[in-house]
């Protein structure tokens, strides 16, 4: 049951992606329904998997890279379902589904061993901090996808620009909450709100890139392709914050 849930989630995300892509080429009222059915099934399967792992480990499954990628895939699914129901942009839904599938594929190569929590991680702030970060990451991923589409399309990009702006603003808010909750957690664990740890530093860099994105939209009227390039830069910074720091730099977050 435990590992089967993960396999079902992978298959469901894959089929959701297929049906979302099929919507680009075929007009059929059942395709969007099937896509939503499968992405919902994938979300439910991951929810069950997370709950079972939580019960087995006796702790929230949020403490290593494998568990964080599973949470990332889960929140991407939630963001995708919202965007699809709210905006119904086929190309965006299909590409966000692909990102969720890639996250699950990445998880399959990571160490799945359940290990005890380090003393610094034994805090209720762990769940709050990780969830806020990954809700933000998932929304920013959707904003990146929308921005990439904007860069490659020549027409009808105004609606995509609005979607990209809204999901990035939402992701920016949760990224900020993630930094704040991380600072509070750091103070309770190590006696300092900020230590310029590589993860903290790159989180702040990512936050500033997206702050510039929002600032230039409001003050200089940057939209569509100009704003899209900033969104791409922000996403690359986010990826380095999430993956690069863990593997290339040492610090307090090396346990991830």
The tens digit of pLDDT for each residue in 187-205 reads 887 778 888 888 889 999 9
Pairwise CA distance, residues 209 & 236, whole Å: 10
- Where is pLDDT greater, at 95 or 156? 95
pLDDT of residue 47: 97
Cβ atoms of 92 and 145 within 8 Å: the answer is yes
> Does residue 17 share a domain with residue 85?
yes
| Residue pointed to by tokens 């930094």 | 179
pLDDT of residue 39: 97
> Does residue 224 share a domain with residue 129?
yes
Q: What is the DSSP string of 13-41?
A: HHHHHHHHHHTTT---THHHHHHHHHHHH
- Cα 104 from chain centroid (whole Å): 12
pLDDT of residue 164: 94
Structural domain ending residue among the three candidates 80, 110, 140:
110
- pLDDT value at 99 more than 60: yes
> Does residue 6 share a domain with residue 97?
yes
- pLDDT value at 57 more than 60: yes
- Residues 111, 116, 120, 122: is their CA dihedral positive or negative? positive
- What is the maximal distance between C-alpha atoms in the chain? 58
> Does residue 221 share a domain with residue 160?
yes
Q: Would you state the structure tokens that stand for residue 226, as one six-digit string?
A: 């100009």
Count of domains forming the chain = 2
> Does residue 194 share a domain with residue 82?
no
pLDDT of residue 97: 96
> Does residue 220 share a domain with residue 142?
yes
Residues of 103-124 as b/e, b for ≥16 C-beta within 10 angstroms? bbebbeeeeeeeeebeeebeee
> Does residue 198 share a domain with residue 159?
yes
pLDDT of residue 1: 64
Q: What is the pLDDT of residues 4-49, one digit of tens each?
A: 999 999 999 999 999 999 999 988 889 999 999 999 999 999 999 9
Q: What is the pLDDT of residues 218-232, one digit of tens each?
A: 898 888 899 999 999
Pairwise CA distance, residues 154 & 122, whole Å: 51
Structural domain ending residue among the three candidates 90, 110, 130:
110
Segments forming the whole domain that contains residue 211: 119-256
Pairwise CA distance, residues 72 & 86, whole Å: 21
Structural domain ending residue among the three candidates 83, 110, 137:
110
Q: How many CA atoms lie within 13 A of 94 on its CB side?
A: 15
Average pLDDT of the chain to the nearest whole number: 91
Pairwise CA distance, residues 161 & 22, whole Å: 23
> Does residue 43 share a domain with residue 24?
yes
| Residue pointed to by tokens 């600072």 | 183
The closest of 112, 92, 226, 70 to 167, measured between CA atoms, is: 92
Cβ atoms of 175 and 161 within 8 Å: the answer is no
> Does residue 92 share a domain with residue 73?
yes
What proportion of the chain, given as a percentage, has pLDDT over 90?
68
pTM here?
0.93
Q: What is the pLDDT of residues 201-217, one digit of tens each?
A: 999 999 999 999 999 99
> Does residue 149 share a domain with residue 101?
no
| pLDDT classification of 149: cutoffs 50, 70, 90 | very high
Q: What average pLDDT does the segment 62-89 reach?
A: 94
pLDDT of residue 254: 53
> Does residue 126 share a domain with residue 71?
no
pLDDT of residue 221: 85
What proportion of the chain, given as a percentage, has pLDDT over 70?
96
Q: Report the range of poorest mean pLDDT among 172-186, 209-223, 239-253.
A: 239-253
> Does residue 92 share a domain with residue 35?
yes
């Amino acid at each position: 049951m435990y590992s089967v849930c993960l396999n079902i989630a992978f298959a469901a995300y894959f089929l959701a992606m297929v049906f979302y892509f099929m919507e680009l080429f075929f007009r059929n009222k059942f395709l969007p329904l099937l896509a939503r059915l499968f992405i919902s099934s994938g979300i439910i399967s991951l929810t069950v998997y997370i709950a079972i792992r939580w019960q087995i480990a006796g702790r929230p499954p949020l403490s290593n890279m494998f568990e964080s990628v599973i949470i990332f895939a889960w929140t991407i699914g939630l963001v995708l379902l919202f965007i699809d129901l709210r905006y119904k942009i086929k190309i965006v839904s299909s590409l966000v589904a692909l990102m969720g599938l890639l996250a699950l594929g990445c998880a399959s190569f990571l160490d799945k061993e359940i290990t005890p929590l380090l003393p610094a991680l034994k805090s209720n702030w762990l769940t709050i901090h990780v969830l806020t970060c990954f809700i933000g990451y998932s929304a920013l991923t959707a904003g990146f996808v929308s921005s990439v589409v904007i860069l490659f399309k020549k027409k009808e990009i105004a609606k995509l620009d609005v979607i990209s702006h809204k999901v990035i603003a939402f992701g920016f808010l949760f990224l900020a909450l993630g930094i704040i909750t991380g600072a509070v957690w750091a103070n309770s664990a190590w006696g300092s709100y900020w230590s310029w740890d590589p993860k903290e530093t790159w989180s702040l860099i990512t936050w500033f890139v997206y702050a510039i994105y929002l600032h230039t939209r409001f003050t200089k009227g940057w939209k569509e392709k100009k704003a899209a390039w900033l969104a791409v830069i922000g996403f690359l910074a986010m990826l380095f914050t999430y993956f690069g720091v863990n593997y290339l730099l040492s610090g307090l977050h090396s346990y991830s």
